[in-house]
Structure 1
Amino acid sequence: MEDVKILICDDSILARKQLKDIIKTCGFDNFIEGVNGEQAVALYKEHKPQLVFLDIVMPLMDGVQAVHEIRQFDPEAYIIIVSSVGTQSQLKAAIMEGAHDFIQKPYSSEAISKVVSKRFEGR
């Protein structure tokens, strides 16, 4: 699974570390990290990861706009929103823009593992 790249974009270094630690238990360890929506879009375009975890509330560009721009660039992008804050309208907007799922913080390792497994079934 070394060829699989996973982008984690969250303005919290702790949130990024927690996600990486959980995903590593699924057998993946090739991560790209960003701290805001603008970085998420730029890093996606540069690395074209197979899975993206995005926070909704981030500086410079929120997760909804980042989902929109990433999906404009690559309609097949597989994006999961992971957020503790955000209104129902933001979550709905992210799904409407093409996010595949939403996981509420604080999340369980089982919830993250389930999403990762679902994405890479049959690989």
Structure 2
Amino acid sequence: MAKTVMIVDDSLFMRKMLRDILEGEGFEVAAEAADGDEAVTKFRDCRPDVTTLDIVMPNKTGIDALREIMTIDPAARVVMCSAMGQETLTASATEAGAKAFIVKPFNPELVARVVREVVEG
């Protein structure tokens, strides 16, 4: 059975890019969300095997969404996505429970490897 992923990014272009990469690697995209509020709601509904979560988003940041997701499921596997120059935010995300990071612009091979490693534990 395919592992499920939820993709969270305020950019439709970035969501589509991640969808293409992850579906190409055999993942099933269970949900997509465009902001942190939507991410928490959809996580609660679909409980994906792994979630990719952009750090900088409107309404609720990725880090705030991550904290809420971890209260819903302390075993949630979340990979944070950030642009270059957001290193200070990665420490906060790690403290909040992020399992890994991928940096934009995305390298498809790296994205696939990191997400697979997080899913496999």
TM-score with structure 1 length normalisation?
0.90
Equivalent-residue separation in structure 2 for 1:78 and 1:38 (angstroms): 18
Contact 2:83–2:105 (Cα < 8 Å) also in 1: yes
Equivalent position SS for 1:99: coil
Equivalent-residue separation in structure 2 for 1:78 and 1:22 (angstroms): 18
CA RMSD of aligned residues (A): 1.6
Deviation at residue 88 of structure 1 after TM alignment: 2.7
Contact 2:66–2:97 (Cα < 8 Å) also in 1: yes
Q: How many residues align?
A: 121
Percent identity of the aligned residues? 36
Compare the two structures and name the one with the higher strand fraction.
2
Which amino acid in structure 1 is aligned with residue 62 of structure 2?
G
More moved, 26-35 vs 112-121 = 112-121
C-alpha change, 1:96 and 1:29, in structure 2 (3 Å) is: same
Unpaired stretches in structure 1, ≥5 consecutive residues: none
More moved, 54-63 vs 81-90 = 81-90
Deviation at residue 83 of structure 1 after TM alignment: 1.6
Which amino acid in structure 1 is aligned with residue 90 of structure 2?
L
1:58-69 matched pairs, under 5 angstroms: 58-69=57-68
Deviations 1:53-92 (A, max 9, x none): 0001101000110110100111000000012156333111
Equivalent-residue separation in structure 2 for 1:57 and 1:118 (angstroms): 24
2:73 counterpart residue number: 74
Contact 2:63–2:92 (Cα < 8 Å) also in 1: yes
Which amino acid in structure 2 is aligned with residue 104 of structure 1?
V
1:17-56 matched pairs, under 5 angstroms: 17-56=16-55
TM-score with structure 2 length normalisation?
0.92
C-alpha change, 1:91 and 1:121, in structure 2 (3 Å) is: closer
Which amino acid in structure 2 is aligned with residue 17 of structure 1?
K
1:108 counterpart residue number: 107
Equivalent position SS for 1:30: strand
Detail structure 1 runs of 4+ shifted over 4 Å in the superposition.
none
2:117 counterpart residue number: 118
Unpaired stretches in structure 2, ≥5 consecutive residues: none
Equivalent position SS for 2:31: strand
Equivalent position SS for 1:107: coil
Which amino acid in structure 1 is aligned with residue 89 of structure 2?
Q
